[in-house]
């Protein structure tokens, strides 16, 4: 029987957009380094040196700092966004930071850096020592440098309000993921004759898409005829200037297209004085309020008290649940982005603690996670996954049954994929309200005004007025929005078990379920997964959790004391991906949807100043931090931790877009 309209719509809604990584390996190889006769580092793949033999830092200042005119920009602009193509060993980044400090620039400086062959930490130290670069800046950069060179974006918060967004990828996909306007560009790839791909006309046109006419400047050590021609074709006015240390020419340019642009880059950031309100007392709301506060905003956090039996975040511990796939699909990439968000957060706040609601506190820690094979066939699948996906060993690697048991501290039936340093949150930490106090109250209605939003209670009282509202209610915001993304509620019951046979557990282990050691010697098991609307504990769920645990262990737990921990309702979207972004405005589409049905690329209307985060399902630990970081990025109009492709995948409006493609009405 063919699918009916309802079945087809459900299937389409469950298919995530954004494509796959086309079989490209997750891990990127470090450069193959050698040294020439004078001891200077050489990349053997390109047969080219890193920086001038006459002085790496001096060349960076002459060619890139002076050539781009960034010093004058730092003296006058509150914020800047710099893009470097070819980060190498970070010398231009260091020179930019030096200029920022020398001038006394107090605004934010966002530094995007593309690198397809990132050096290891050991290589960084070795080359920095050779160039006599060793100081607090280098030590901070080294501390935040990714331990595993995984494809995608990484974030490193550096001194003096300088934020590095490191894009580890080839030049074309890296540029296609751009999502913010550029003020300054450094082109510092290897010689165009040895690496023509980076200097192509296509690359220059992709750069121009994000340049601001009359504002964006560019600098490069290469003044080759082909490079100048590609830049001029893309809309740059190009000037040759004296090169460094005897080199005849370097290059300076300004973006000055002759024709008007149809697709200008995104506007600059909203003023930081904007009144921001966060609605939702759960993990998503708490994390958004905290990270907005840390970013210099002054959010008001509003929500009713959490009630046991309804909130998964009330259980004693929550471990991150990363997804790995052989084709590096969207879900895998979003999970890696969540890990990157955690890495930057703990770099800034090493002992991170979060006040969830009232006096309840959560503290972060990191544990190794073992994805334990269910049987011999599953073990073969996991081993093939690690090889097919090209996972770096520092990110995830297969270990034998004996190795897994030794690491876990208990006997296991099979080997496992080991993922080191997975974040988790556990009860404890700070008491009291934390840096952002939760204002009690339930928002029953949002009302638009000429300047923002009124947050109205059921009795008609105005609880708060804000320019920007972050909705984190967990349920998609349906009671507060004219149109909300579809979601379903999934019940989960976790279990606490106390038994001598598990007291040695040192890692988080997981297969069909997961087991997490608690500080008091007990073990948290989780969690059941069903769609019952039952908030009371069910003993059969505890039995199911224990049964799935036993399937991972060499010996089933004996004399175990078992009790229910929490019952929570997770909210899940049809495609299992979160919704993070601006809320679409359904009213124009209901009035006349034809323009958007005829043109799939036409931007959907949005409710100005209203953002939605949620739909995390069982990945609240990973995606709550990612969502909060993305909200901060969006309000600052800087580069995001995701890039444009993955932002489309998690856009709350993606379901509305699919309804338009299907010719379906935009129902409330």
Q: State both tokens at 655.
A: 């379901």
Q: State both tokens at 332.
A: 């895998």
Nearest to 79 by CA among 218, 266, 264, 268: 268
CA 149 from chain center: how many Å? 15
CA 330 from chain center: how many Å? 12
**What does the H/E/C string look like for 1-58?**
CCCCHHHHHHHHHCCCCCCCCCCCCCECCCCCEEECCCCCEEECCCCEECCCCCCHHH
Rounded CA gap, 398 and 385, in Å?
Answer: 9
Q: State both tokens at 104.
A: 């006394």
Give yes or no for a contact between 115 and 87, defined as CB atoms under 8 angstroms apart. Answer: yes
Q: State both tokens at 659.
A: 């309804």
Rounded CA gap, 151 and 518, in Å?
Answer: 33
Q: State both tokens at 458.
A: 């059921």
Per run of 10 residues, the mean pLDDT along the chain (length 668 residues) is 34 48 82 86 87 86 96 88 96 97 93 96 94 94 96 96 96 94 95 93 96 95 96 96 89 92 65 82 92 92 67 78 93 96 95 77 92 94 94 96 96 95 84 75 92 92 94 83 90 92 92 86 89 87 91 88 86 93 94 92 92 93 96 91 94 94 83
Residue partners of 187: CB distance under 8 A and separation at least 6: 85, 86, 198, 199, 218, 219, 220, 222, 227, 251
Sign of the dihedral defined by the CA atoms of residues 583, 586, 592, 598, in that order: positive
- What residues are paired with 84 via a beta bridge? 113, 186
Rounded CA gap, 400 and 383, in Å?
Answer: 10
What pLDDT is recorded for position 556?
Answer: 87
Give yes or no for a contact between 59 and 51, defined as CB atoms under 8 angstroms apart. Answer: yes
3-class DSSP assignment, residue 128: helix
Rounded CA gap, 152 and 168, in Å?
Answer: 5
CA 95 from chain center: how many Å? 27
What pLDDT is recorded for position 8?
Answer: 35
Q: Which residue has the tokens 């769920």?
A: 541
The DSSP code sequence of 337-349 is: HHHHHHHHHHHHS
Rounded CA gap, 82 and 70, in Å?
Answer: 9
Give yes or no for a contact between 211 and 110, defined as CB atoms under 8 angstroms apart. Answer: no
What pLDDT is recorded for position 22?
Answer: 52
Rounded CA gap, 205 and 175, in Å?
Answer: 10
- Residues present in the chain in total: 668
Looking at 389-454, list the stretches that DSSP marks H as alpha helix, in order from N- to C-terminal side. 401-408
Nearest to 471 by CA among 302, 255, 665, 257: 302
Rounded CA gap, 484 and 584, in Å?
Answer: 9
Phi/psi at 359 (nearest 5 deg)? -95, 5
Rounded CA gap, 443 and 470, in Å?
Answer: 12
Rounded CA gap, 181 and 184, in Å?
Answer: 10
Rounded CA gap, 494 and 427, in Å?
Answer: 15
Sign of the dihedral defined by the CA atoms of residues 260, 196, 69, 74, in that order: positive
- For residue 633, the surrounding DSSP H or E stretch is helix 620-636
CA distance readout (Å), 141 to 136, 147, 171, 491, 633 = 9, 12, 22, 42, 20
- What residues are paired with 184 via a beta bridge? 82, 217
Q: Which residue has the tokens 């074709």?
A: 233
């Amino acid at each position: 029987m063919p699918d009916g309209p309802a079945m087809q719509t459900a299937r389409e809604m469950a298919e995530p957009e954004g494509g796959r990584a086309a079989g490209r390996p997750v891990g990127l190889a470090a450069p193959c380094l050698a040294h020439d006769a004078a001891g200077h580092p050489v990349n053997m793949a390109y047969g080219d040196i890193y920086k001038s033999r006459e002085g790496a830092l001096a060349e960076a200042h002459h060619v890139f700092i002076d050539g781009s005119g960034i010093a004058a920009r730092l003296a006058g602009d509150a914020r800047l966004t710099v893009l470097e193509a070819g980060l190498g060993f970070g010398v231009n980044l260091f020179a930019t930071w030096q200029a920022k400090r020398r001038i006394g620039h107090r605004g934010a400086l966002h530094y995007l850096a593309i690198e397809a062959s990132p050096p290891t930490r050991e290589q960084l130290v070795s080359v920095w020592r050779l160039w006599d670069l060793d100081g607090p800046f280098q030590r901070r950069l080294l501390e935040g440098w990714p331990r595993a060179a995984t494809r995608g974006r990484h974030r490193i918060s550096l001194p003096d309000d300088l934020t590095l967004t490191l894009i580890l990828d080839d030049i074309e996909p890296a540029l296609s993921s751009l999502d913010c306007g550029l003020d300054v560009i450094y082109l510092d790839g290897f010689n165009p004759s040895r690496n023509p791909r980076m200097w192509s006309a296509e690359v220059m046109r992709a750069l121009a898409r994000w340049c601001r006419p009359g504002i964006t400047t560019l600098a490069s050590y290469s003044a080759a005829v082909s490079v100048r021609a590609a830049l001029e074709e893309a809309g740059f006015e190009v000037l040759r200037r004296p090169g460094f240390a005897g080199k005849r020419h370097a290059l300076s340019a300004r973006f000055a297209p002759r024709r008007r642009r149809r697709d200008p880059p995104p506007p600059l950031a909203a003023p930081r004085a904007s009144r921001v309100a966060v609605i939702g007392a759960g993990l998503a709301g708490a994390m958004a309020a905290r990270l907005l506060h840390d970013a210099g905003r002054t959010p008001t956090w509003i929500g009713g008290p959490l009630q046991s039996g309804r909130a998964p975040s009330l259980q004693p511990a929550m471990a991150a649940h990363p997804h790995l796939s052989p084709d590096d699909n969207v879900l895998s990439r979003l999970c890696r982005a969540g890990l990157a968000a955690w890495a930057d957060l703990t770099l800034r706040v090493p002992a991170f603690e979060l006040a969830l609601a009232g006096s309840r506190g959560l503290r972060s820690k990191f544990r190794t996670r073992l994805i334990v094979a269910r049987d011999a066939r599953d073990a073969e699948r996991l081993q093939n996954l690690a090889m097919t996906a090209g996972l770096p060993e520092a990110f995830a690697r297969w270990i034998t049954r004996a190795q897994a048991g030794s690491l876990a501290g208990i006997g296991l039936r099979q080997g496992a994929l080991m993922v080191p340093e997975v974040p988790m949150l556990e009860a404890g930490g700070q008491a009291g309200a934390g840096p952002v106090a939760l204002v009690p109250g339930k928002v029953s209605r949002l009302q638009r005004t000429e300047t923002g939003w009124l947050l109205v209670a059921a009795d008609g009282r105005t609880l708060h007025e804000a320019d920007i509202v972050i909705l984190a209610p967990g349920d998609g915001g349906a009671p507060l929005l004219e149109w909300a993304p579809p979601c379903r509620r999934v019940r989960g019951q976790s279990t606490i078990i106390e038994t001598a046979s598990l007291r040695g557990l040192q890692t988080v282990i997981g297969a069909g379920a997961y087991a997490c050691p608690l500080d008091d010697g007990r073990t948290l098991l989780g969690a059941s997964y069903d769609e019952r609307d039952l908030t009371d504990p069910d003993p059969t769920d505890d039995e199911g959790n224990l049964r799935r645990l036993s399937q991972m262990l060499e010996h089933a737990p004996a004399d175990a004391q078992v009790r229910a921990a929490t019952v929570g309702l997770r909210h899940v979207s049809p495609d299992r991906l979160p919704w993070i972004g601006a809320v679409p405005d359904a009213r124009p589409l209901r009035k006349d949807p034809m323009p958007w049905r005829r043109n799939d690329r036409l931007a959907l209307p949005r409710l100005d100043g209203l953002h939605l985060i949620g739909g995390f399902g069982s990945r609240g630990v990973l995606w709550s931090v990612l969502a909060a970081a993305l909200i901060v990025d969006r309000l600052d109009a800087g580069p995001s931790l995701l890039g444009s492709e993955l932002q489309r995948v998690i856009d709350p409006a993606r379901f509305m877009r699919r309804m338009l493609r299907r010719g379906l009405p935009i129902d409330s």
